[in-house]
A and B are shown apart, each in its own frame.
Chain A
Amino acid sequence: MAIFDARAAVMIPPRKVKFLIRRYNPEEGRSWWQEYEVETYRGMTVLDALLKIKEEIDHTLVLRYSCRMAVCGSCGMIINGTPRLACQTQVAEVASEARPVVKVEPMYNFKVIRDLVVDFTEFFEKHRRVKPYLIRRDVEERENPKYEYRLLPEEYESFYQYSLCIACGLCVSACPVFASDRRFLGPQALAQAYRFIIDPRDEGWAERLEIVDSEDGVFGCHLAASCSAVCPKEVDPGAAIQRLRSLLLRYRLGLWKKKISGPVGPLEKKAERKPLPPEAETLPGVSLEELEESEVEIPVDELIAG
Chain B
Amino acid sequence: MAGRQGRSARLLDLRPGWKAFVNPWLLRIANNPERLAFIMHRVTGVIASLFLFLHIISTNVPAREGWEAWREEVMNLQGLTLTSILFYIAMGAILFHGLNGTRLILAEALALGIGRPEKPKPPYIAPLLRGFQRTLLYATFVLWIILWALLGYVMFFT
- Is A180 a contact of B126 with CB atoms below 8 Å? no
- Is B11 a contact of A229 with CB atoms below 8 Å? no
Say yes or no for A226: interface residue by CB 8 A criterion: yes
Supposing A6-B122, A234-B124, A236-B117 touch, asked if A179 and B35 sit within 8 A by C-beta, the answer is no
Say yes or no for A20: interface residue by CB 8 A criterion: no
Which chain B residues border A249 with CB–CB below 8 Å? 109
Say yes or no for B108: interface residue by CB 8 A criterion: yes
Supposing A225-B129, A239-B117 touch, asked if A112 and B14 sit within 8 A by C-beta, the answer is yes
How big is chain A's contact interface, by range?
A: 35 or more
Which chain A residues border B41 with CB–CB below 8 Å? 222
Say yes or no for B29: interface residue by CB 8 A criterion: yes
Say yes or no for B5: interface residue by CB 8 A criterion: no
Q: Which residue of B lies closest to A225 (CB)?
A: B34
Say yes or no for A24: interface residue by CB 8 A criterion: yes
Give a binary string over B83-126; 1 marks a CB under 8 Å from any A CB, 0 the rest: 00000000000000000000010011111001101111011111
Q: Which residue of B lies closest to A115 (CB)?
A: B12
Say yes or no for A96: interface residue by CB 8 A criterion: no
Supposing A29-B10, A82-B28, A230-B29 touch, asked if A239 and B123 sit within 8 A by C-beta, the answer is no
Instruction: Choose from A29, A174, A179 the contact partner of B15 (Cβ within 8 Å).
Output: A179
- Is A226 a contact of B31 with CB atoms below 8 Å? no
Q: Which of A20-44 contact B (CB under 8 A)?
A: 24, 26-27, 29, 31
A56 CB, min distance to chain B CBs, angstroms: 26
Give a binary string over B1-35; 1 marks a CB under 8 Å from any A CB, 0 the rest: 00000001011111111111100001111111011
Chain B residues in the interface with A (C-beta under 8 A): 8, 10-21, 26-32, 34-35, 37-39, 41-42, 104, 107-111, 114-115, 117-120, 122-129, 131
- The 8 closest A-B CB pairs, nearest first, are A179-B20, A81-B28, A225-B34, A246-B111, A111-B11, A224-B38, A228-B126, A234-B120
